[in-house]
Structure 1
Amino acid sequence: MSEHDNDFREVIDEEEDKNADVVEVTGDTTVDPSVADPNNDKKDDYEDICYICRRPESVAGKMIHIPNNICICNDCMQKTFDSMEGFGFGSGDNASLNNIDFSKMPNISMVNLSDLSDFMPNMPNSQRLKKKKKKEDKQEAPVLDIKNIPPPHKIKAELDEYVVGQEYAKKVMSVAVYNHYKRVATGTMDEIEIEKSNMLMIGPTGSGKTYLVKILARLLDVPLAITDATSLTEAGYIGDDIESVVSKLLAAADNDVEKAERGIIFIDEIDKLAKKKNTNQRDVSGESVQQGMLKLLEGAEVEVPVGASSKNAMVPMTIVDTKNILFICGGAFPDLDSIIKERLNKASSMGFMADLKDKYDKEENILMKATVEDLKNFGMIPEFLGRLPILFSLEALDEDMLVRILKEPKNAIIKQYQKLLELDEVKLEFTDEALHAIAKQAKQRELGARALRAIIEEFMLDIMYEIPKDDNIGKVIITEDYVTKKGGPKIVMRGAEANLIEG
């Protein structure tokens, strides 16, 4: 260490002993953190961040606190002292801030620290990392106990309460999630490293891909980040960098790195990353993004921005290890059905036993027959598919499944409207014919379960508007004629349930 560095350390130690509450720039350079920050107790969970280099405390080391809640790392403070040498700061025995000749500094008579805090405002907690737990705390409370991981049949039973149908998909996801978190809890079994259980789900729009992942994350009580692959581009181009998907998970974990490293990332619209065909331009949002995601899926330490989706000089960075993060990718894969039909019809073109070429034209669940080869022909690269070993498809929703979705789940759409009218002390009922009429209209729109809410909103608008006007209404019955716009609902007045009045 140089003589100047020793002088710098002596100045800091000397000033810390004074414990002054209010400091001028010509006096002390540090104060007690509790004095500098009156809300220090609330911020103890977060790391300090240097205002100059934006590095967190875990990277830059212990911070120097100066008034107005400003933290500066030792490296930046040292550079500041070095730059002030030419203005009268000596390197001998008299080295001190008191000996700085500020008259030699052009246009500077006194540095106002309150102006400095205005120029560099306090960083919000959304851009600050949480402090890592000490080893003693980790031993007292393990990160994940294998005994507390619900078995596959309990995971599926929980999914059954919220998701109708999709028995195969729920079974596959339950086993994959259970095996993944056993891997996280144990690390190795007899020194055998267990690979990740990343998943790729294929299903038409509105079939419940995102909903299944949300229920899983809620059941396991782990952070979940849902991101869209359409905004991802290769590094250096306009759009979100690939590391932004990990940055969103870190934000969902309240900037707790250890908690984020055992979370779930769901990347929707993954089919939009397929290789572009018949183009001479650089594929910055297709194949190149698939290649860039390989290290994330397999497991690697990546540097991600905290509280932002892109890297820049004003955003702190941190290291996140993705080896224990479960990646689930999903997409509708339009036109994949034609690739599957082409493959299935290759061996059925000639002979007495040949199948008809239009055999699979009316097959709704043709995506259930998808293979890795079909996805390669669609435009997904083999290296990407190899890191998503679990491939499964969701069933298309038929009319009977849509009717069950309306009334069976815990938070079914009908139950939501019944609760809304119950707050007005009015009962709401739907006839079976009305439910099938709603499902039939939703099937025609080809939007899956998302169409149900839109259809109900249309005919419930007048009812939700008129009911608060009349306190005598006790029950409303939705009929098939009202859904198909051939008549009105049945209104039952209070105390006269036997007399039905046509609305």
Structure 2
Amino acid sequence: MKDLKPGQIVTELDKYIIGQKDAKKSVAIALRNRWRRRQVEKDLQDEIAPKNIILIGPTGVGKTEIARRLANLTDSPFYKVEASKFTEVGYVGRDVESMIRDIVELTVNDLRSRQQDAVQEKASKIAEERLLDILLPPASKTGPALSNDLDIIATGQGDEENQTKASTREKLRKMLRNGKLDSRQVDLEVADKSSPMVEIFSNTGIEEMGINVKDMLGNLMPKNTKRRKVKIKDALKLVTQEEAAHLVDMEQIKTDAVTMVEQAGIIFIDEIDKIVSKEKSHGPEVSKEGVQRDLLPIVEGSSVPTKYGIVKTDHILFIASGAFHVSKPSDLIPELQGRFPIRVELHSLAAHEFTRILTEPKNALVLQYIALLRTEGIQIEFTKGAIEKIAFIAEEVNSTTENIGARRLHTVMEKLLEDILFKAPDIEEKKIVIDASFVEKQLMDIVENEDLTRYIL
């Protein structure tokens, strides 16, 4: 983060997201402020709260993508959740604290995976020795046999036998590394992962019970193992995974995960406008305001119990988003509004932006289809006129039907290339040029018929 300046953050986001400069600028500042906070005096660090953001704009304009790319850019713990999944206590649905438990769980799994990758080489060597012991069991060193061995060693006899055994082991090692033993089977002790199925029925859900019942039962149950006949190639993988799991320090991982979430976690709350009541009313609408009130302490800063320890949410960055086409951000309860001081409006996408989206980003849609058809030996080329026509149609359909932003391009492109994608394995012509006339021929009849447009594009 020290080297990642706000301007560089925006430049990196530009590689994947077209337009929306205001939103990129706001998230870049929020991210840089996290690094700045860690540089100030310790007693002042806790006083500087993150400036949470609300992204306001129609679907498909890049709200979620901005948050996701931001997390990837800084390697921060990231979790996306829909606000509509939550309900207030007493209603059926997820507990708002579950998003904290989920982001910690994801971070623990990610750190564990990285640690196991880091010790993979060491684990592979240990696994190799274990398999060699199975293939060439060491001589027993107990009872009379031990004294006989000692006598042999004392008299200098048996050196030849020991050297032969060491030589055989090295030969087996070479064969194992060269894959010559891959198809041979060995008996291996593996963990029995089958466990009894336990279901708990509760009107408040298992999350409200305060403990992880599955983990508790898992610790009570004995760790069963069973012998299996497996090929050496598979056995090597299984034993390496087992040894890698033993080499990582889980307690340190848990501690690091909690710290990372507390100091660098980003939670993206989508569809926050769905928990806004349209007007003061009774009935199901009451639940929506209840979700806001349950959400408030988490966003404001509280301590949430997880199976990895207490997690403080004071410095987690919350980015909320919503279309707000029925309600307004000012319809949120005042307390929650105050916890999202930065509001950025994302504008609807026009034809010239669709043109850029189709070609400029690293994961551009046109590049994806070119790569897909290349696997069939077909070289497909889009002319500039074709790209502009596709963009124009996407904008036209968005304006006459529901505006779903850049997602409309997926629908239009799929319909445009439907026949080519279907017949690709049998097409003899290996070079296909998509021009404006081809786009018109394929799509204009549908665009001109409003009923067809609604159902097809």
- Amino acid in structure 2 at the alignment position of 1:406: L
- Amino acid in structure 2 at the alignment position of 1:235: V
1:331 paired with 2:322, answer yes
Could you tell me which of 152, 168, 172 is aligned with 2:22?
168
Could you tell me which of 277, 285, 288 is aligned with 1:286?
288
Residue pair 1:481, 1:487 contacting (<8 A) in 2 also: no
Give CA deviations for 1:181-201 in whole Å, capped at 9, x if unaligned.
332565747678222111111
Could you tell me which of 265, 268, 271 is aligned with 2:267?
265
Could you tell me which of 97, 110, 114 is aligned with 1:243?
97
Could you tell me which of 68, 72, 77 is aligned with 1:214?
68
1:382 paired with 2:334, answer yes
Residue pair 1:227, 1:266 contacting (<8 A) in 2 also: yes
Please name the residue that 2:310 is paired with: 319
Query: What is the RMSD of the two structures over their aligned residues, measured on CA atoms?
Result: 2.3
Q: CA 1:268 to 1:318, structure 2 compared with 1: closer, same or farther past 3 Å?
A: same
Residue pair 1:187, 1:193 contacting (<8 A) in 2 also: no
Residue pair 1:184, 1:324 contacting (<8 A) in 2 also: no
Please name the residue that 2:171 is paired with: none
Counterparts of 1:396 and 1:218, CA distance in 2: 25
Could you tell me which of 461, 484, 492 is aligned with 2:440?
484
Please name the residue that 1:395 is paired with: 347
Q: CA 1:441 to 1:487, structure 2 compared with 1: closer, same or farther past 3 Å?
A: closer
User: Identity of counterpart residues, as a percentage?
Assistant: 39
| TM-score calculated relative to the size of structure 1 | 0.54
Could you tell me which of 410, 426, 436 is aligned with 1:469?
426
Counterparts of 1:159 and 1:404, CA distance in 2: 14
Deviation of residue 334 (structure 1)? 1.0
Q: Which structure's relative contact order is higher, taking Cα pairs within 8 Å and 6+ residues apart?
A: 2
Give CA deviations for 1:3-37 in whole Å, capped at 9, x if unaligned.
xxxxxxxxxxxxxxxxxxxxxxxxxxxxxxxxxxx
Q: CA 1:297 to 1:190, structure 2 compared with 1: closer, same or farther past 3 Å?
A: closer
How does 1:215-230 map onto structure 2 within 5 Å?
Answer: 215-230=69-84
- Amino acid in structure 2 at the alignment position of 1:453: H
How does 1:97-496 map onto structure 2 within 5 Å?
Answer: 147=2, 150-184=4-38, 186=40, 188=42, 193-254=47-108, 256-261=257-262, 262-281=264-283, 283-304=285-306, 316=307, 318-336=309-327, 375-376=329-330, 379-443=331-395, 444-445=397-398, 446-470=403-427, 472-485=428-441
Residue pair 2:91, 2:287 contacting (<8 A) in 1 also: no
Q: CA 1:236 to 1:405, structure 2 compared with 1: closer, same or farther past 3 Å?
A: same
Which SS does the other structure have where 1:174 is aligned? helix
Q: CA 1:484 to 1:160, structure 2 compared with 1: closer, same or farther past 3 Å?
A: same
Counterparts of 2:315 and 2:45, CA distance in 1: 17
Q: Please, which runs of 5 or more residues in structure 1 have no aligned partner?
A: 1-145, 305-315, 337-373, 489-503
Counterparts of 1:487 and 1:241, CA distance in 2: 46
Residue pair 1:433, 1:479 contacting (<8 A) in 2 also: yes
Q: Which moved more, 1:433-442 or 1:327-336?
A: 433-442
Residue pair 2:268, 2:320 contacting (<8 A) in 1 also: yes
Q: CA 1:239 to 1:194, structure 2 compared with 1: closer, same or farther past 3 Å?
A: same
Residue pair 1:207, 1:448 contacting (<8 A) in 2 also: yes
Please name the residue that 1:346 is paired with: none
| TM-score calculated relative to the size of structure 2 | 0.60
Counterparts of 2:47 and 2:265, CA distance in 1: 19
Residue pair 1:230, 1:269 contacting (<8 A) in 2 also: yes
Which SS does the other structure have where 1:293 is aligned? helix
Counterparts of 2:339 and 2:37, CA distance in 1: 16
Question: Which structure 1 residue ranges, 4+ long, deviate > 4 Å from structure 2?
Answer: 184-192
Residue pair 1:467, 1:473 contacting (<8 A) in 2 also: no
Counterparts of 1:442 and 1:251, CA distance in 2: 40
Deviation of residue 248 (structure 1)? 2.1
Give CA deviations for 1:434-473 in whole Å, capped at 9, x if unaligned.
2222122222232110010111111212112223214x53
Which SS does the other structure have where 1:253 is aligned? helix
Counterparts of 1:285 and 1:264, CA distance in 2: 26
